[in-house]
Chains A and B, each alone.
Chain A
Amino acid sequence: MEVRLRPGISDPQGATVERALPALGFDGVSDVRVGKSIRFFVDAPDEEAARAMSEAVTDRLLANPVIEEAEVRVR
């Protein structure tokens, strides 16, 4: 899953990366946002069950809903 800051929440890491890019010659990059990628294996009977469990794990632990949102992908 990908955990990232909600839109509107300031992202000092993203802003710092964005400020560094022109110095390296990369112009025209904007709206840089830095998030986290978290991967794990789930022992589940099917994809739906794996997704439900992963979303529960995300809601309870992996993302703080006050400042973060998460996107779960199962494959």
Chain B
Amino acid sequence: MTARIGVLVFPGTNCEHDVVKAIGSITADEGPASCAELVWHGTKSLTHLDAVVLPGGFAHGDYLRPGAIARFSDVMGALARFAADGGPVVGICNGFQVLTEAGLLPGALQKNAGLRFVCTSVSVRVCTKRTVLTEEVEEGRALLLPVNHFEGNYTCDRATLDRLRGEDRIVFRYEQNPNGSLDDIAGVCNEAGNVVGLMPHPERSCDPLTGALDGVPLLRSLLVAAERRASLPA
């Protein structure tokens, strides 16, 4: 059964085609068990999908705060239900910001320390494989992934940080912190591990042309999770 991966598009999203193309290249190499499709933010049901990606960009222009307006798009109610039902959800960069604003992930992304827009490749350590984005990756592995953001400085209160650490929910840490992020956090997940947000862009590290292939094992994990969901009895 072919898994369907929905890539959400808000007004101002700009990485949706990169995600679709990266998933397409992985499935082309390994057999077409998954296909990715664009899903407009006005959609009110996601039940036909087996995984959802919130790609990078500037949803609703990032007005007020990144993700603050996107949180009220029609699709977000359906996304909350999809996530509560165990559906794999991954937010990349602006998508991560949307997930925190929507309350699907804890904490918030602040302006980078020093007010620097960072646009470079960073080494990111995989801290846990208990998530839909890392289940096929060895724990402790360092991945070279591009970052490209102004508001990636993860922050949360002390109690939340203690909980994230205690529940093994810090998914990625920067080896050299580019943005002032608390505890070098580059990505976190929800309690069940089916909702993951991260600032680096795995989809931009899936083609030798762009310098590295370290995003492939992450997206492959997502495809495995999506295919598992697709094979569940309806």
Contacts and interface: CB of A to CB of B under 8 A. Distances in A.
Interface of A: 9-10, 12-13, 16, 61-62, 64, 66-67
Contacts of A64: 65, 68, 101, 108
Interface in B190-226: none
Interface of B: 64-65, 68-69, 72, 100-101, 106-108, 110-115, 153, 155-157, 180
Contacts of B108: 64, 66-67
A9 B68 contact: no
- For the complex of A and B, the 3 pairs showing the least CB-CB separation, nearest first, are A66-B108, A67-B108, A12-B115
A52 to B, nearest CB: 20
A12 B156 contact: no
A62 B64 contact: yes
Nearest to A36: B64
B101 A12 contact: no
Nearest to B110: A67
B159 to A, nearest CB: 12
A61 B156 contact: no
Contact of A66 (B100, B111, B114): B100
Nearest to A34: B111
Contacts of A9: 110, 155
A39 B100 CA distance: 26
Which interface residue of A10, A12, A61 has the most chain B CB atoms within 10 A? A12
A10 B100 CA distance: 18
A66 B107 contact: yes
A67 B68 CA distance: 13
Contacts of B155: 9-10, 66-67
Given A61-B72, A64-B108, 8 more contacts: A10-B113, A12-B110, A16-B114, A61-B68, A62-B64, A64-B65, A66-B100, A67-B110
Contacts of B69: 61
A10 B108 CA distance: 12
A13 B111 contact: yes
A66 B115 CA distance: 20
A47 to B, nearest CB: 25
Which interface residue of A9, A62, A66, A67 has the most chain B CB atoms within 10 A? A66
A16 B115 contact: yes
